[in-house]
């Protein structure tokens, strides 16, 4: 005889768990905001940068350098996040 169990729903009245979820959500939203601002600033500044370099043919290099720098710094942010102390309520 096989019995099926209902999926467990995470319902908690623990304030520490709610605070952790809220903190995680706020962190994700701040990350998305900063990413959107970063892209907006880059898109706005790109014509000026290309104008200073005297040519649209340099736009590919500017974009490549930006993406490469963003890709390189991402693991650094991750490592710094791992090193940050975690405070428990």
Q: Which of 73, 82, 79 shows the shortest CA–CA distance to 38?
A: 73
Phi, psi (rounded to 5 degrees) for 75: -65, -30
In angstroms, the Cα distances linking 65 to 37, 45, 87 are 18, 14, 37
Is this prediction's pTM over 0.75?
Answer: no
End-to-end CA distance of the chain: 45
pLDDT of residue 9: 60
pLDDT of residue 89: 56
Digits of tens for pLDDT over the chain (89 positions)? 566 777 666 566 778 788 888 888 888 898 888 888 888 888 888 888 888 888 878 788 888 888 898 889 888 888 888 887 776 65
Within the chain, where are the H helices?
15-52, 59-83
């Amino acid at each position: 005889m096989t019995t099926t169990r209902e999926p467990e729903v995470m319902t908690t009245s623990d304030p520490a768990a709610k605070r952790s979820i809220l903190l995680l959500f706020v962190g994700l939203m701040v990350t998305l905001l900063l990413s959107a601002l970063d892209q907006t600033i880059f898109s706005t500044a790109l014509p000026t940068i290309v104008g200073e370099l005297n040519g649209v043919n340099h736009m590919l290099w500017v974009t490549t350098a930006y993406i490469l720098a963003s890709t390189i710094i991402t693991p650094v942010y991750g490592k710094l996040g791992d090193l940050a102390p975690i405070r428990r309520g």
